[in-house]
Amino acid sequence: MSKPDKKKPSAEPEIMEKLVALSKQRGFVFQSSEIYGGLKSCYDYGPLGTELKRNVKAEWWRAMVTTREDIVGIDASIIMHPNVWRASGHLATFSDPMVDCKDCKERGRSDKWPKAEKGAEVEYKVVVDHQSGKKETRKGAVGDLAIVCPNCGSPNLSDIRRFNLMFRTSLGSIDPLETISRRLEGKALSGEELRKVLADAIDETAVYLRPETAQAMFTNFLNVQQAMRMKIPFGIAQQGKSFRNEITVEHFTFRSCEFEQMEMEFFCHPPEFKPEGEKSDMEWFEYWSNARLAWYSNLGIRKEKLRLRPHAADELSHYAKGCNDVEYDYPWGWGELEGIAHRSDYDLKQHEKHSGKKLTYFDPQANKHYHPYVIEPAAGADRAALAFLIDAYTEEPPPPGTNEGRTVLKLHPRLSPIKVAVFPLVKKEGMPESARKIVGEFSKSGIKAVYDEKDAIGRRYRRQDECGTPYCITVDGQTAQDGSVTIRERDSMKQDRIQVADAVKVVQNRLAE
RNA sequence: GCGGGUAUAGCUCAAUGGUAGAGCGCUAGCCUUCCAAGCUAGCUAUGAGGGUUCGAUUCCCUCUACCCGCUCCA
């Protein structure tokens, strides 16, 4: 088991700056609400970014649902019953009283920290120089919370804070503020009493934006299984927005408060009910780990920039039997693209406990009811789109004899926002008309094509290179004579002559490769 | 959350206590027959708020956002 090694000297620290600039210039990603000064961690996808992300999601759906008999999809609501989050455990940490040590920066639950007598003098050691690890002995008095830091023993602590990992809102037309002001009218309450009144009033209508899409696959487990007559092993897949009030956000769109997930819950036999010849839960775990890793490399991410990192035992949740992260070597170091978790039967049992409804699968072969095990590949659509973008970003030096290099996004053609650009070599002799007709043919076939006649032909090629457009078709003098055009491939810059009549078919075939 | 840095045109950068420039880009036109050619004309900017000042993009304060490092990440 390898430990995460997040830190590494960045080989190209400036690549992100260039990519952010290109993203804005070419319309991949903009900062949200930019004219108002921006909003922390929020980004908007522009026209090309939207196409890219849609293509990423479409490829995922194709690989996970369309081409598989054993997986079906759902599209659940973002707001779910609050008890879903009690069952999943998200609401517990949400309301836990958290406290920070001001000396060693340890953070934890105040009700779990060592008790100490209020006002008592204590002695503790603090690391004063992180490089040498030099410590200094200090003294202090225990404060009102009557606890000390479990790490360094310091009584120098922050106030209690409750971290809102989930976005809370209220469902219903009555504003909780109305309820609160009514209940508080004419009352003089202590801080603790006041808090209770507020918490109760808010709780009555409180709902939360989902922090993950996974729970809807568990709550709908039997609905889906019965409606679609699914037999174990089978999976339920979903794509959609999730929301987390992250403590920190970083690295462009890599970690943000609003993000899109692509998750699949694969229900398989627990060991005691596994028939002969069927994959075991651990074999499915390996299968999905490898399948998900391969998905990224098949869509063009360089193999040496991808790895599967097994979680160390102390990183795992208590119920998990394993977790592999698919990681990408971002410009700032290795970071998570996707997590494949072996969740045992924890989630279904939790929901069974909290809802009081049976969530067992009836296995007609074994003639038994049981809770299936679950393997969960959970990917981030925004992270995937970002990784594809970073990996595709290439700066080529000027070829011998010239002085202009080129910037090219070597995206997999199926991920490219624009598939084909069609140019008239010059703006005369009917070439623009022919070119526009070709664009029309592509549009009719559902292939995103654009027309461009501005500037010299070389410049138009370079513009498309920056957008990641894999194919450029040019109408020239020969077109009028024999009905042929050139098709130029983005990465090799090689040109073939093809018939106009075959153009759509040729591109379709190349996209299918 | 802590520390450091940054904020000028669509992008990359310059300059200035007194009319804010360039390159690329973009728009229109001319020219142009295959890999960022040329000519002409045009468009576009000092993150937000406050203070000092006759006058602030420039000095000061606050806020916001972004970047780097630490911290955190159910």
- DSSP line for A483-505: SEEEEEETTT--EEEEEGGGHHH
Residues contacting A77, CB < 8 A, separation 6+? A216
Of the listed ranges A20-34, A125-139, A217-231, A480-494, the least confidently predicted one is A125-139
Find which nucleotide's C1' atom is closest to A466's CA. Answer: B36
Tokens 């999809």 map to which residue? Answer: A73
Does the structure show a pLDDT above 80 at A2? no
Find which nucleotide's C1' atom is closest to A494's CA. Answer: B35
Upstream peptide bond of A399 is cis (omega within 30 degrees of 0): no
Cα A149 to Cα A163: distance, rounded to the nearest angstrom: 19
Of the listed ranges A53-62, A104-113, A387-396, the least confidently predicted one is A104-113
A361 vs A39, residue with greater confidence: A361
Cα A483 to Cα A476: distance, rounded to the nearest angstrom: 10
- Strand B reaches within 7 A of the A288 CB: no
Residue of A218, A231, A240, A198 whose CA lies nearest to A95: A198
Per the prediction, chain A carries an average pLDDT of 88
Instruction: Compute the average pLDDT of residues A166-176.
Output: 87
Does the structure show a pLDDT above 80 at A10? no
Question: What is the reported pLDDT for A140?
Answer: 78
Instruction: Compute the average pLDDT of residues A497-511.
Output: 96
Find which nucleotide's C1' atom is closest to A88's CA. Answer: B74
- Strand B reaches within 7 A of the A249 CB: yes
What pLDDT band is residue A412 in, cutting at 50, 70 and 90?
Answer: very high
Of the listed ranges A115-129, A166-180, A196-210, A283-297, the least confidently predicted one is A115-129
Question: What is the reported pLDDT for A13?
Answer: 55
Instruction: Compute the average pLDDT of residues A87-108.
Output: 71
Determine the distance between A35 (CA) and B20 (C1') in angstroms: 22
What pLDDT band is residue A163 in, cutting at 50, 70 and 90?
Answer: low
The pTM is what?
0.88
Find which nucleotide's C1' atom is closest to A461's CA. Answer: B35
Question: What is the reported pLDDT for A12?
Answer: 55
What pLDDT band is residue A192 in, cutting at 50, 70 and 90?
Answer: confident
Share of chain A above pLDDT 90, in %: 61
Question: What is the reported pLDDT for A63?
Answer: 97
A217 vs A35, residue with greater confidence: A217
Count the helix, strand and coil residues of chain A and give each as a percent rounded to the nearest 5: 35, 25, 40
Find which nucleotide's C1' atom is closest to A255's CA. Answer: B73
Cα A86 to Cα A91: distance, rounded to the nearest angstrom: 5
Determine the distance between A485 (CA) and B37 (C1') in angstroms: 24
pLDDT digits (tens, 9 = 90+) for A316-369: 777 788 999 999 999 888 999 999 999 999 999 999 999 999 999 999 988 999
Does the structure show a pLDDT above 60 at A11? no
Instruction: Compute the average pLDDT of residues A234-251.
Output: 89
Determine the distance between A466 (CA) and B59 (C1') in angstroms: 42
* Amino acid at site A502: D
Determine the distance between A421 (CA) and B43 (C1') in angstroms: 27
Determine the distance between A43 (CA) and B64 (C1') in angstroms: 16
Q: Which nucleotides of chain B have an atom under 7 angstroms from any protein CB?
A: 1, 10-12, 25-28, 31-37, 47-48, 64-74
What pLDDT band is residue A415 in, cutting at 50, 70 and 90?
Answer: very high
Q: Give the distance from CA A154 to its chain's centroid.
A: 38
Residues contacting A433, CB < 8 A, separation 6+? none
Most confident of A20-29, A89-98, A165-174, A367-376: A367-376
Residue of A374, A371, A375, A376 whose CA lies nearest to A273: A371
Determine the distance between A452 (CA) and B43 (C1') in angstroms: 21
Packing angle, helices A176-184 and A191-205, rounded to 10? 150
- Strand B reaches within 7 A of the A477 CB: yes
What pLDDT band is residue A373 in, cutting at 50, 70 and 90?
Answer: very high
Helix extents (H) in A264-360: 281-298, 346-355
What pLDDT band is residue A308 in, cutting at 50, 70 and 90?
Answer: very high
Find which nucleotide's C1' atom is closest to A399's CA. Answer: B35
Determine the distance between A134 (CA) and B4 (C1') in angstroms: 23
- Strand B reaches within 7 A of the A461 CB: yes
Cα A307 to Cα A350: distance, rounded to the nearest angstrom: 32
Question: What is the reported pLDDT for A351?
Answer: 96
Residue of A241, A251, A258, A320 whose CA lies nearest to A285: A320
What pLDDT band is residue A131 in, cutting at 50, 70 and 90?
Answer: very low
Phi and psi of A407, rounded to 5°?
-105, 125
Does the structure show a pLDDT above 80 at A400? no
Flag residues 325-354 of A with CB < 7 Å from strand B: 332
A196 vs A92, residue with greater confidence: A196
Structure tokens at A19: 């990519």
Determine the distance between A101 (CA) and B59 (C1') in angstroms: 39
Determine the distance between A424 (CA) and B10 (C1') in angstroms: 26
Does the structure show a pLDDT above 80 at A6? no
Flag residues 367-426 of A with CB < 7 Å from strand B: 402, 404-407, 425-426
Question: What is the reported pLDDT for A248?
Answer: 75
Question: What is the reported pLDDT for A7?
Answer: 35
Question: What is the reported pLDDT for A139?
Answer: 77
Of the listed ranges A8-17, A21-30, A114-123, A302-311, the least confidently predicted one is A8-17
A190 vs A44, residue with greater confidence: A44
Question: What is the reported pLDDT for A198?
Answer: 87
What pLDDT band is residue A130 in, cutting at 50, 70 and 90?
Answer: very low
